[in-house]
Amino acid sequence: MAPSRALRDFLSSALRVNQAGELAATLIYTYQTPRVVAREPHLRPLMQHMHAQEVGHLATFDALLARHRVRPTALYPVWSVLASGLGWATAALGREAAMACTEAVETEIGDHYNNQIRVLLEMVAQWEADGYDVDPELRELLRTLRRIRDEELEHLDHAVEHEAQRAEPHWLLTGVIRAGCRGAIWVSERV
């Protein structure tokens, strides 16, 4: 593969923001799960499953940051506090609000991962067209991003199945959370 400043910049930004996002998701579930499960014990397996997947995603991006020598976002402490508060607050509002939070976050994250996958596929196609070999590690990163995206979209489906739409007011709650996610993504890509 040709040395590429564009790839290095992309990896630095993408891995940093993905790690921050997975940290946030882990903390959201950490703070939601006890309150949601206390009121809705039948949701324990689902909440534990989604939390465990997020913990796995965070471990994946922690390892990729180290492998590619990418620094975490400077706003790691800020995102930690905000994600913890979001998890706690939405759980305090009830199951529907907690599920609406998952719906909103995973909608934005699914789009975010799709954009990253598209950019990488375009880079790979260009390198192949230019006659360069593509590093197998890059193909593995694409597989990893697709797997994680699919798991995040599974969480979105679970949230909808568990009445995220019944949160009041759904449009406001999900709109604010989605805007917050977009803002956090934009900032974490750069800082």
Binding residues for Fe cation: 22, 54, 57, 106, 152, 155
With beta carbons less than 8 A apart as the criterion, state whether 6 and 123 touch: yes
- 5-11 — which CB contacts under 8 Å span 24+ positions? 6/123, 7/123, 7/138, 10/119, 10/120, 10/123, 11/68, 11/70
- Binding-site residues, in ranges, read 22, 54, 57, 106, 152, 155
With beta carbons less than 8 A apart as the criterion, state whether 29 and 47 touch: yes
Q: What are the CA-CA distances from residue 190 to residues 8, 10, 62, 73, 86 (Å)?
A: 14, 11, 18, 8, 23
Q: Which amino acid is it at 55?
A: V
Q: What are the CA-CA distances from residue 104 to residues 60, 131, 132 (Å)?
A: 23, 41, 39
Q: In b/e form, how buried is each residue of 27-40, taking b as 16+ CB within 10 angstroms?
A: bbbbbbbebbbeee
Q: CA-to-CA distance for 176 and 174, rounded, in angstroms?
A: 6
